[in-house]
């Protein structure tokens, strides 16, 4: 009877363990599979490839981020361990009340939400004029790591006997000697677990790093976040797969290869088994990662000697990386290339002047805002002769946000429109959409992907109502809000980047999308052999014409190099190369002439600008209007 | 030991805390209690009472409470089983539960999109088995799933730690005195693991309460949590004062958690490895 019962119990236990493991590892399995996917899509299988592994090792951005991640994790864990262990010894000797107070303060970073910790540190760094960068991330990581060390070391300290220490003193050891000979070996397991816990927490942190990092520095988390806008490159999955399999392999080797250690006392063994396992395996993993890091540092150290510099700040995935290399080669100028995810994120960085960029690529309305706040330097067109390659009509459009074309040279442009899945529409029995008004058709329930951005969402509603998308009239905006509220039940999700993957995967019938994504989508759909077509329409009511342009901030230190950079990007062959990589329409007329006919005839990507009569360019509306838009948008989201 | 002298060892970290914990907190208060022009106001804190903020807060509290409860429900039996598996390979099994944390948090969460979508992996599998499709992506259920997935290790760790420390003799004694397995669980194991449970609850509840990434990725941004509101005020809306004011409200919940921890987990044994 006993055996059946215990077997049954064992079976249920195993079943439970396996079930939990599947739950924990299913997403990791997905990542590993995607790392071999020749399609960039997150949801479609395009065939097997090792390409991403090659790309991963070649990509300076990924290797830099890996290096930063490991170095920060290692240094912050090390410093936190020293600081925390010493403090724990001190706290252990304290009286009750100060000890409680001390530990209370110590617990704050651990219990406080990451977002508050991150923001509060950021506010302090800015207030004290500490420029954000590598050291601020390090300081922040140390701060949230020490509590974990304290919590590992303190219980061990409490277990150590004071008498052993006193006996050592009686036998002639000095306090320091007695500590290292008697107390330290006892607390060592706690110190090591503390270190590893700190290392792990630092490795996994995103939010605090996000707020305390300066531009110019990425960890893996922040790099991934900046890639989210244009889609995670499978190289990231490849990197994760490499780390995962290495750690797992080392783990298996250490667990099964060596002869079994003599059986410990059972109870004792169980008490420490978790700690030991964690320590042993994590230590190996950490050692492996640190080795890579050190190797890479030395490599980087020797690779970087340069005198002439240029600091560029651009959107993620918004340039063909070989263009940067070519620029460096031709001019001998070393480029430090940084990424931002949104205009709003870029603005305070430039405004604070903590990092002095030489060339930045914001959108229309943000350029207006920067110019109004005197954050931009006037361009010297004598140094940018290639600007003549830019079509005149784009400079004319730019006047709406940059009167006199003083500050900005157009880089990419496009429209916002509706992408639809032809087959899904047939299934739903709806004829293809022609205007924004179609997005209120109740038959689309759960089939609409809207843009998750205040201005874009309101643009759709305002245009449908026949108002200007730069309206600041409260009544008009309230009307637009009511319209968006009425639409919400039909909306499947508000998305930014994911609209691409979701449309490719046939998740929704229609999606509001930037025209720049079109070529990628259509080529991908063809390559994957999808049985549905994705078609783009520019709504009849008019839409947003957006222009991302290069500008030079007022505090640029290498203005002439920045002009060389802009001039270089305006060169027809370079603009063509860039277009072929990022597939956002180029305003460069000379480059356009070089493109393959299939591209030139694609009126969805390259519509005739003069025909877009109802369309407008976003303008900056001021703080008050921004707040109003924000508040109304929140009402929609909270509903 | 000379107590006074040893206490001095805490000084460096004490200064560190003053600089990197106390002053930043003070900065949040400064921003939260002023408006853009720098004059004192309570408006940013009271803004929590507006319908959309209140709704976001209530929803956050609800979802994180559900996630915490589910984490506990999954983690406790798991920790019990792991406790029973003793040494040797047991240690390997244990580590396996931490390993996912070494993969990037954002990537892990995005992978759930691929799993959960309408035409995703899970639905494909269900389709093969002839089962009806699951449609939880972009719903609160998906957010809860993401929270449970990401924060489960924070519950497993402390609960396992306290369970592992319980002396076998205590359990044997209970059995000898006539307690059945269920009674042992309720009257011995559960009460003795309270410090770990409390510590686990706070370590899951607080990050779940304040997350904005999970709700963005798995909730389709249709569901607004208080973390999203704060994040947007800082990154998109550029109203840092309002963001700081709302953060101060969140801190109240953190203070409540801290008092709980101080009461039940005096020696921090729940979180120690």
Can you list the domains of chain A with their CATH numbers? 51-255+279-301 (1.10.3720.10), 309-407+549-576 (3.40.190.10), 413-544+624-638 (3.40.190.10)
Identify the bridge partners of residue A414 per DSSP, sorted by sequence position. A546
**Chain B interface includes A90 (CB < 8 A):** yes
Domain assignment present for residue B271? The answer is no
For residue A320, which of A63, A24, A580, A611 has the smallest C-alpha distance?
A580
Gap between the Cα atoms of A24 and B96, Å rounded: 9
Structural domain includes residue B28 = no
Q: Is residue B44 part of a domain?
A: no
- In this structure, what token pair is assigned to residue A586? 């180029």
The tens digit of pLDDT for each residue in A70-122 reads 899 999 999 999 999 999 988 888 888 888 888 888 888 877 778 788 888 98
Residue at B5 is within a domain:
no
Q: Which domain holds residue B219?
A: 50-238+247-264
Cβ contact A112–B206 (<8 Å): yes
Q: What is the pLDDT of residues B206-220, one digit of tens each?
A: 889 988 889 988 988
Contact B164 A237 (CB under 8 A): no
Residue B39, token pair as written in the block: 């004059």
| B199, B261 contact by CB (below 8 A) | yes
A448, A511 in Cβ contact below 8 A? yes
In a domain, B10, yes or no: no
Least confident of A66-80, A209-223, A324-338: A209-223
Q: Is residue B168 part of a domain?
A: yes
Q: Does A43 touch chain B (CB under 8 A)?
A: yes
Neighbouring C-alpha atoms within 13 Å toward the C-beta of A367: 30
B-contacting residues in A 477-496 (Cβ below 8 Å): 488, 491-495
Interface test with A, best of B38, B213, B221 (most A CBs within 10 A): B221
Total count of domains within chain B? 1
The DSSP call for residue A588 is B
Report ipTM (2 d.p.). 0.88
Residue among B87, B88, B250 minimizing CB distance to A116: B250
Asked if B268 lies within 8 A of A150 by C-beta distance, the reply is yes
- CB contacts, 8 Å: A150 with chain B: 268
Confidence (pTM): 0.84
B66 shares contact with chain A (CB less than 8 Å): no
Bridge partners for A627 per DSSP: none
Least confident of A450-464, A490-504, B62-76: A490-504
Cα gap A478→B130, rounded to integer Å: 47
Residues 6+ positions from A382 with CB-CB distance below 8 Å = none
The enclosing domain of B225 has a CATH number of 1.10.3720.10
Residue A193's pLDDT band (cuts 50, 70, 90): confident
Q: A79-83, A145-149, A359-363, B257-261 — which is least confidently predicted?
A: B257-261
What is the rounded average pLDDT of the residues B46-57? Answer: 92
Place of tokens 């340039």: A319
- pLDDT at position A264: 40
**Exposed / middle / buried, residue A239 (Cβ in 10 Å: 0-12, 13-18, 19+):** buried
Do A377 and A554 meet the contact criterion of CB atoms below 8 Å apart? Answer: yes
Within the 425-454 window of chain A, which residues sit less than 8 Å (CB to CB) from chain B? 452, 454
Measure A382 CA to nearest chain B CA, in Å.
36
Identify the closest residue of chain A to B220 by CA–CA distance.
Answer: A493
Do the chains contact at A224 and B104, CB–CB below 8 Å?
yes
* In a domain? residue B229: yes
CA distance B132 to chain A (A): 17
Nearest to A480 by CA among A589, A615, A362, A625: A625
How many residue contacts between A and B have a Cβ separation below 8 Å? 357
Name the band, by pLDDT with cuts 50, 70 and 90, for residue A548. very high
Q: Give yes or no for residue A298 having a pLDDT over 70.
A: no
How high is the pLDDT of residue A142?
A: 96
Chain A CA closest to residue B269 = A155
- Determine which of A93, A271, A275, A445 to mutate to test the interface with B (most B C-beta atoms within 10 Å): A93
Q: Is the pLDDT of residue B55 over 60?
A: yes
Q: How far apart are CA A202 and CA A74, in angstroms?
A: 8
Closest CA to B152 of B70, B62, B214, B272: B70
Is B26 within the bounds of a domain?
A: no
Task: Name every chain B residue with its beta carbon within 8 A of the beta carbon of A123.
Answer: 24, 27-28, 30-31, 240, 244
A342·B103 Cβ contact <8 A: no
Chain-centre distance of CA A10, in angstroms?
44
**B241 and chain A: CB distance < 8 Å anywhere?**
no
Q: What is the dihedral of CA A274, A277, A283, A285, to 10 degrees?
A: -120
* Lowest mean pLDDT across A170-174, A300-304, B24-28, B258-262: A300-304
């Amino acid at each position: 009877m006993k055996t059946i019962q215990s077997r049954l119990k064992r079976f249920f236990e195993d079943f439970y363990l396996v079930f939990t493991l599947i739950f924990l590892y299913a997403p990791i399995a997905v990542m590993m599979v995607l790392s071999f996917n020749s399609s960039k899509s997150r949801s479609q299988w395009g065939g097997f490839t090792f390409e991403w592994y090659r790309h991963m090792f070649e990509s300076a951005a990924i290797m830099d981020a890996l290096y930063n991640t490991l170095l920060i994790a290692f240094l912050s864990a090390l410093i936190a361990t020293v600081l925390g262990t010493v403090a724990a010894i001190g706290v252990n000797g304290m009286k009750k009340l100060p000890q409680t107070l001390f530990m209370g303060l110590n617990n704050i970073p651990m219990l406080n939400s990451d977002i508050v910790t991150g923001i509060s540190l950021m506010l302090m760094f800015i207030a004290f004029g500490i420029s954000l960068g590598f050291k601020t991330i390090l300081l922040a990581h140390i701060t949230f790591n020490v509590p974990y060390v304290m919590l590992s070391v303190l219980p061990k300290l409490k277990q150590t006997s004071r008498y052993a220490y006193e006996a050592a003193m009686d036998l002639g050891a000095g306090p320091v000697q007695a500590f290292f000979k008697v107390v330290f070996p006892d607390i060592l397991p706690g110190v090591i677990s503390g270190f590893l816990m700190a290392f792990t927490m630092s490795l996994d942190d995103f939010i605090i790093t996000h707020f305390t990092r300066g531009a110019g520095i990425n960890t893996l988390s922040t790099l991934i976040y900046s890639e989210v806008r244009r889609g995670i490159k499978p190289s990231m999955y490849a990197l994760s797969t490499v780390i995962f399999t290495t750690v797992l392999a080392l783990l298996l080797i250490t667990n099964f290869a060596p002869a079994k250690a003599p059986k410990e006392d059972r109870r004792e063994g169980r008490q420490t088994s978790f700690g030991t396992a964690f320590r042993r395996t994590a230590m190996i993993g950490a050692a492996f990662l640190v080795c890579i890091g050190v190797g890479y540092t030395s490599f980087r150290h020797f690779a970087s000697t340069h005198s002439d510099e240029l600091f560029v700040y651009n959107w993620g995935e918004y340039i063909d990386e070989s263009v940067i290399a070519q620029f460096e080669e031709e001019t001998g100028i070393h480029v430090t290339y940084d990424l931002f995810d949104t205009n709003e994120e870029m603005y305070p960085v430039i405004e604070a002047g903590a990092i002095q960029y030489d060339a930045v690529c914001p959108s229309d309305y943000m350029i207006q805002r920067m110019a109004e706040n005197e954050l931009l330097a006037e361009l010297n067109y004598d140094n940018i002769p290639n600007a003549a390659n830019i079509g005149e009509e784009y400079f004319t459009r730019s006047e709406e946000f940059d009167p006199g074309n003083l500050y900005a040279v157009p880089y990419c442009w496009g429209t916002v429109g509706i992408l639809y899945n032809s087959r899904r529409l047939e299934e739903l029995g709806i004829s293809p959409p022609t205007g924004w008004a179609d997005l209120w058709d109740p038959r689309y329930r759960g089939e609409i992907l809207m843009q998750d951005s205040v201005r874009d969402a309101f643009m759709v509603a305002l245009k449908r109502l026949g108002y200007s998308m730069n309206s600041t009239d409260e009544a008009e905006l309230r009307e637009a809000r009511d319209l968006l509220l009425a639409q919400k039940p039909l909306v499947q999700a508000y998305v930014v980047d994911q609209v691409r993957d979701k449309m490719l995967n046939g998740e929704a019938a229609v999606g509001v999308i930037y025209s720049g994504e079109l070529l990628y989508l259509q080529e991908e759909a063809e390559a994957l052999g999808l049985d549905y077509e994705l078609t783009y329409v520019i709504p009849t009511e008019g839409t947003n014409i957006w222009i991302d342009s290069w500008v030079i901030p007022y505090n640029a230190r290498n203005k002439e190099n920045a002009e060389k950079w802009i001039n270089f990007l305006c060169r027809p062959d370079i603009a063509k190369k860039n277009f072929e990589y990022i597939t956002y329409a180029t305003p460069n007329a000379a480059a356009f002439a070089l493109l393959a006919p299939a591209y030139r005839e694609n009126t969805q990507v390259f519509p005739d600008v003069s025909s877009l009569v109802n369309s407008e360019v976003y303008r900056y509306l001021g703080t008050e209007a921004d707040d109003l838009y924000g508040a109304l948008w929140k009402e929609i989201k909270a509903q | 030991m000379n107590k006074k002298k040893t206490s001095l060892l805490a000084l460096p970290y004490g200064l560190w805390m003053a600089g990197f914990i106390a002053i930043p907190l003070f900065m949040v208060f400064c921003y939260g209690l002023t408006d853009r022009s720098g004059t004192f106001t309570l408006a940013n804190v009271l803004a929590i009472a507006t319908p959309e903020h209140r709704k976001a807060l209530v929803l956050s509290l609800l979802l994180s409470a559900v996630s915490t409860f589910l984490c506990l429900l999954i983690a406790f039996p798991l920790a019990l089983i792991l406790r029973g598996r003793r040494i040797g390979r047991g240690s390997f099994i244990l580590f396996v539960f931490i390993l996912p944390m070494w993969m990037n948090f954002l990537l892990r969460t995005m992978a759930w999109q691929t799993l959960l979508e309408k035409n995703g992996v899970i639905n494909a599998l269900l389709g093969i088995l002839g089962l009806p499709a699951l449609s939880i992506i972009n719903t609160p259920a998906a957010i809860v799933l993401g929270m449970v997935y990401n924060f489960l290790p924070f519950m497993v760790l402390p609960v396992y730690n306290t369970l592992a420390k319980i002396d076998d003799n205590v359990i044997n004694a209970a059995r000898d005195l006539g307690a059945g397995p269920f009674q042992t669980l309720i009257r011995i194991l559960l009460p003795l693991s309270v410090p770990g449970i409390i510590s686990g609850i706070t370590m899951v509840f607080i990050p779940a309460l304040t997350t904005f990434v999970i709700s963005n990725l798995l909730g389709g941004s249709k569901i607004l949590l208080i973390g999203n509101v704060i994040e947007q005020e800082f990154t998109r809306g550029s109203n840092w004062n309002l963001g700081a004011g709302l953060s101060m409200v969140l801190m109240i919940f953190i203070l409540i958690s801290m008092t709980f921890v101080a009461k039940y987990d005096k020696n921090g044994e729940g979180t120690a490895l």
